[in-house]
Structure 1
């Protein structure tokens, strides 16, 4: 678990941030605790907030936000279920979800129905897309990490796996380097999901935090500081 304190003006409101480990976006071992964490903490600092950042497993992060142990979830895709206990910012980053197969399997994917015959490794609790999550004909196999999914795929226990393209490429060059040449992306992405911060609804200023965060991200895009952070992380 990591802790990051950002200096700000005296009397500034302090926010408790949380995320799971999801490199290159959120990871205490990376510069700035990952590119998403750096974007969020920078924007919140510019919006006038101080913050501390903690990293816990995904389910603990969600439960902690619901229990008010934390104020802001750094890395949330939109879902109706999450909107019941959290307030979403505008998306500050786009995740392109790719379908991964064993190299040479030649699976054709142009619509969800094409995936019905296959076992698909999915991360538990992740909101890939409304259509994917709602389709009862898909054969999903819940896993705890993309690393697990990739090894299941390589060993033939599933036919497909899903992950954000940046995450998959990061892992193919690090912990999955030994099997990366055996796996490949299908040409068409499953979806593009906006990445948001999610502020607990029980926080009295949740809407104001989102408004000020969105304005800070817009200013960072305009002045080049957003692009500079992305570039520092190789994205």
Structure 2
């Protein structure tokens, strides 16, 4: 079923972006440096978590942080206190390698990250969808149908081989989802790969730009 993203502008509901059917389900995990959580649990210290900016999962101007609050609450129920610092992704990686941080409340899992991190059971499901500007041909498209098309993706996201190795797709890597939405609205790319909740949040936060 095609989902239509809408935003309120001048008290009217208008269609701003039309995504395809859900393309891929990705699971969100808590990632921890080896032995970090057991140590925190026994000595009563505070767990130092880090994430990059990913509204509304890890931060937002309104204070909403869906994933972070879920993780903090779950940890508190087991007697573990935690704080999350939002920094650039490179700093997240560096901090985990050097044990400046004990883990991350929101991370997609892949083989490379499993080499130095322990992952929890998944606690959230991300629904990755393909979106385009109003009027774009997106109905029924899959990633395999996009050969020769420019598709915005976030550089460090672990989308999986099914997407990253799609034949002929011209991925344009952006710093974050907002950067990619700007590229889409400017016509620099034809499509954008994004979590459905994230794009709803972004569209709602800038309705006038997204309506064009």
Provide TM-score, normalisation by structure 2.
0.74
Partner SS state of residue 42, structure 1: helix
- Structure having the higher strand fraction is 2
Partner SS state of residue 37, structure 1: helix
Does the CA-based 8 Å contact 1:24-1:30 persist in structure 2?
A: no
CA distance in 2, matches of 1:153, 1:105: 11
Alignment partner, residue 7 of structure 2 = none
Residue from 169, 183, 196 that aligns with 1:165:
196
Alignment partner, residue 20 of structure 1 = 52
CA distance in 2, matches of 1:14, 1:144: 30
Confirm or deny that 1:177 pairs with 2:185.
no
Residue from 66, 71, 80 that aligns with 2:97:
66
Query: In the TM superposition, what is the alpha-carbon distance from 1:115 to its structure 2 partner?
Result: 1.1
The 4+ residue runs of structure 1 with deviation greater than 4 A are: none
Matches within 5 A, 1:59-98: 59-98=90-129
Alignment partner, residue 44 of structure 1 = 75
Question: Residues 127-179 of structure 1, C-alpha deviation per residue, up to 9 Å, x if partnerless?
Answer: 123311233532111111222212211222111111111111001011x3222
CA distance in 2, matches of 1:115, 1:66: 36
CA distance in 2, matches of 1:150, 1:110: 19
Alignment partner, residue 209 of structure 1 = none
Runs (5+) with no aligned partner, structure 2: 1-40
How many residues were matched structurally? 173
CA distance in 1, matches of 2:141, 2:199: 21
Matches within 5 A, 1:193-232: none
Provide TM-score, normalisation by structure 1.
0.68
* RMSD value, Cα: 2.1
